[in-house]
A = this chain, B = another copy of it.
């Protein structure tokens, strides 16, 4: 449906996200060859077995020599180390993108590790489920209709941004561009803060002496509310640390909103409480109506 086509894509970290990009591009006929680079030897071998990737490479720098594009899809704390191995490749015009949940930290790492070579870097964030992990869960359809945010640097080459945008479109995604700062503020509010709230609630209950009895009466509402507290602790530590400034501001705003609820309860102000609940319920309904 589009004439976009990569000759060689290198995927660093062939898990759910990296594997799904490879499968989606193959299905769309938008890539000729995918080289996988990964630290988990069993996982990368399985990715080859499943034909998610065409070749396995141990040496990222060497593999990147042959690439049009490198997709970094590893835990964000490894980004700097990986970017450091792409110095020669970006010099030669290879385009580098990523799939991390925070973007200012990736921008900073790209500038630190690559200097002027950061003009070949186009940070990205696909908004796709993280309930599953690993290449076994990868699917060519994972990004269909999903949103992907690109946060180009001011120095990112226009052609590089277009290439990364075309790549995600070939996967079926809807692409939006914004600054890394704006991205991190948006996702602090709608993703990072909710995760912190869910983890904090479960831990508050778990650390009480009557935890066992409390959990025994938790029902389906509690299960849904805390589902995101089933996510990887390591990954969420990294996200929270990487986006600490925006997240702290949102946590403090939330604490202030909770203090207002306490004040309304102390004052017996049922009307104010109902207004707030009703406004929230209506906003959520309106959001659900607009969400496919």
Instruction: List chain A positions with a Cβ less than 8 A from chain B.
Output: 127, 129, 147, 149, 186-187, 189-191, 193-208, 210-211, 213-234, 236-238, 240-241, 244, 247-248, 251-255, 257-259, 261-262, 265-266, 268, 270, 273-274, 276-281, 283-285, 287-288, 290-291
Contact = CB atoms under 8 A, between A and B. Distances in A.
Nearest to A220: B129
Nearest to A272: B237
Given A248-B266, A265-B244, A193 B189 contact: no
A189 to B, nearest CB: 5
Nearest to A200: B257
Given A197-B201, A254-B204, A191 B233 contact: no
B224 A228 contact: yes
Contact of A199 (B199, B238, B268, B280): B280
Given A199-B280, A224-B228, A258 B257 contact: no
B254 A258 contact: yes
A184 to B, nearest CB: 12
A206 B201 CA distance: 22
A251 to B, nearest CB: 5
A284 B229 contact: yes
Contacts of A273: 237, 240-241
A221 B191 contact: yes
Q: Which one of A197, A225, A254 has the greatest number of beta carbons of chain B within 10 Å?
A: A225
B274 A233 contact: yes
B258 A225 contact: no
A257 B203 contact: yes
Nearest to A235: B277
A217 B193 CA distance: 14
Nearest to A250: B204
A234 B274 contact: yes
A214 to B, nearest CB: 5
Given A218-B287, A259-B255, A261-B200, A280 B194 contact: no
A198 B217 contact: no
A280 B206 contact: yes
Contacts of A226: 194, 284
Contacts of A262: 248, 251-252
Given A201-B194, A205-B189, A248-B265, A224 B224 contact: yes
Contacts of A227: 221, 224-225
A200 B265 contact: no
Q: Which one of A187, A206, A228 has the greatest number of beta carbons of chain B within 10 Å?
A: A206
